């Protein structure tokens, strides 16, 4: 994105319903923090402080968070491996991979899947490196690690693998199991209904969303 004529980095996080600029922690929420240019669109963005740290990329700081709202205005294609977000027009990604059963609730996508044969309802989260299953104990061989959530809170999770079913497609992916994960539990309270975890980036290599056609498709790795 361009801000004041300079290219700036945004962290793409579809678990966020809105695109924001990052402001100092003490600032809190700001209705208008700045204007950026994305493709041919000029966006007036709010700002938020107090989020967890987002790592620099090649020595450049990340100045904002790009949310799922960017996918909802027009058919949108994310090529994860190429690092490319585009708006192909028409139905440019309509034949991509697998169509997922999903709902858009509170500005984020909730997708239906299965972990080891168990039905789960997951937030589509490009901000998560791996998928997350909340409310379960570690499986034999899982490795405990400490991760930081979006608010900067440290949480112990257990890294292993799982058989992930998306529609009729079944395959093994890396999984983080967590007996508790406060920010997901808070998201469940906000959205209502059941939220069992996150569908992270290691589960797919491309994503296509066409809200008007009611389509959300992924291409698996």
Q: Is pLDDT larger for residue 63 or for residue 58?
A: 63
Whether 37 has a pLDDT exceeding 90, the answer reads yes
Domain ranges for the chain, please list them. 2-71, 97-203+214-218
Q: Is pLDDT larger for residue 101 or for residue 81?
A: 101
Radius of gyration of the chain (CA): 17
| Chain segment 19-28, per-residue pLDDT in tens | 999 888 767 8
Domain covering 97-203+214-218, topology: Cathepsin D, subunit A; domain 1 (2.40.70)
Q: Measured between alpha carbons, how far apart are the two ends of the chain, in Å?
A: 27
Strands 154-166 and 169-178: what pairing?
A: antiparallel
For residues 14 and 20, the answer to whether their CB atoms sit within 8 Å is no
Q: Mean of the per-residue pLDDT values for the chain?
A: 92
Q: Which of 24-38, 42-56, 85-99, 104-118 has the highest mean pLDDT?
A: 104-118
How many beta carbons lie within 10 A of that of residue 159, not counting itself?
16
């Amino acid at each position: 994105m361009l801000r004041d004529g300079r290219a700036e980095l945004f962290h793409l996080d579809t678990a966020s319903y809105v695109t924001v600029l990052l402001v100092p922690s003490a600032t809190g929420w700001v209705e208008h923090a700045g204007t950026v240019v994305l493709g041919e669109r000029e966006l007036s963005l709010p700002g938020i402080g107090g989020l967890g740290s987002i790592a620099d990329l090649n020595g450049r700081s990340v100045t904002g968070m790009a949310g799922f709202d960017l996918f909802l205005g027009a058919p949108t294609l994310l090529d994860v491996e190429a690092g490319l977000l585009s708006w192909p027009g028409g139905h440019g990604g309509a034949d991509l991979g697998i169509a997922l059963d999903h709902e858009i609730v509170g500005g984020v996508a909730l997708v239906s899947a299965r972990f080891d044969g168990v039905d789960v309802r997951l937030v589509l989260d490009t901000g998560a490196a791996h998928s997350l299953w909340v409310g379960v104990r570690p499986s034999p061989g899982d490795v405990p690690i400490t991760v930081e959530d979006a608010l900067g809170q440290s949480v112990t999770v257990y890294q292993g693998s799982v058989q992930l079913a998306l529609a009729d497609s079944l395959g093994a992916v890396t999984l983080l199991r967590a007996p508790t994960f406060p920010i997901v539990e808070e998201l469940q309270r906000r959205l209502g209904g059941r939220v069992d975890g996150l569908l992270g980036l290691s589960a797919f290599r491309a994503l296509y969303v066409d809200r008007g056609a009611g389509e959300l498709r992924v291409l698996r790795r």
